[in-house]
Amino acid sequence: MTENVTIALIGGGRIGEALLGGLVAAGHESGRLVVAEPHAGRGAELTERYGVRTVTGIADAVDGAGLVVIAVKPDVVAAVLPEVKGALAPGAVVASVAAGVPTAVYEAALPSGTPVVRVMPNTAMLVGRSMSGISGGRDATEADVALVRGVMEAVGQTLVLPESKLDALTALSGSGPAYVFLVAEAMIDAGVDLGLTRDQATILATQTIAGAGALMVETSTSPVELRAAVTSPGGTTAAAIRTLEKNGLRPAFYDATRACAERSAELGKLS
């Protein structure tokens, strides 16, 4: 449903490029994609790589777009919104992937009645495997949310939920990749401690994590069942799990995700 919509991306950084690449790969017509990127050299790179039009001015990108995606850092949002407002077509949808900025901020700065949709992706969108939460603002219809969902599905999976749940989502999927990276670090260091080379430990840990994730996704089997299937009574895995539980792995995740959600809420109030 996004094929006939002209999409303006505000920001050609890593997140903007990931979304751009996903849309082009999914078959979105390059002539219906325009990127506002203040650095002309970077814009030229994107044009050469994806065949899309790039401009240095935000208003030039927004003019005539049916969907405007704000893909700048949160502290830049306030500076770009006046330019978006001045060129926004009636009925155009504004989506944002800027972390922690509530829809109310956009609604207050844009023309009255502008549909705003907030998106919380994660870093895996760089490889087309994002888990993105999507929330419609006050004036966004189901069709507006569906439009944005269609765009985000070019870079991974999506989940539509109320904006009040985005802090919890941030704690799980938004920041979640960092937790997995930390686990990988710990596994690699432990492997080195056991006598493996760092290269050996790295490939063992990363492929194990990737394979375990694929098992959960592709078999739709619960983590509890999958863990039980590889944990023989009195075996090596049971010894490892017992040690992890004894050292507070589960409470640590409860505390970490709650701290993340609370910090997300705090940052939202500062926007």
Angle, CA of 223, 227 and 229, to the nearest 5°: 120
pLDDT in single tens digits along all 271 residues of the chain: 566 899 999 999 999 999 999 999 999 999 999 999 999 999 999 999 999 999 999 999 999 999 999 999 999 999 999 999 999 999 999 999 998 899 999 999 999 999 999 999 999 999 999 999 999 999 999 999 999 999 999 999 999 999 999 999 999 999 999 999 999 999 999 999 999 999 999 999 999 999 999 999 999 999 999 999 999 999 999 999 999 999 999 999 999 999 999 999 998 888 7
Compute φ and ψ for 100, nearest 5 degrees: 80, 0
Q: What pLDDT is attached to residue 268?
A: 84
Q: Taking the mean position of all CA atoms in its chain, how far away is CA 160?
A: 13
- With CA atoms as reference, report the closest residue to 147 among 11, 262, 7, 37: 7
What's the Rg (C-alpha) of the chain?
21
Q: How many other C-beta atoms lie within 10 A of the C-beta of residue 185?
A: 12
Cα distance between residue 13 and residue 20, in whole Å: 10
SS3 271: coil
With beta carbons less than 8 A apart as the criterion, state whether 216 and 226 touch. Answer: yes
Q: Taking the mean position of all CA atoms in its chain, how far away is CA 251?
A: 26
Torsion of CA 21, 25, 27, 33, to 10 degrees: 10
Cα distance between residue 32 and residue 11, in whole Å: 16
- With CA atoms as reference, report the closest residue to 115 among 47, 66, 159: 66
Cα distance between residue 154 and residue 160, in whole Å: 15
With beta carbons less than 8 A apart as the criterion, state whether 71 and 10 touch. Answer: yes
Taken in order of first residue, the domains within the chain and their CATH numbers are 7-161 (3.40.50.720), 174-268 (1.10.3730.10)
71 is in an annotated binding site: yes
Q: What pLDDT is attached to residue 270?
A: 81
92 is in an annotated binding site: no
72 is in an annotated binding site: yes
265 is in an annotated binding site: no
Distances (CA, A) of 149 to 6, 35, 45, 154, 230: 15, 19, 27, 9, 36
Global confidence as pTM: 0.92
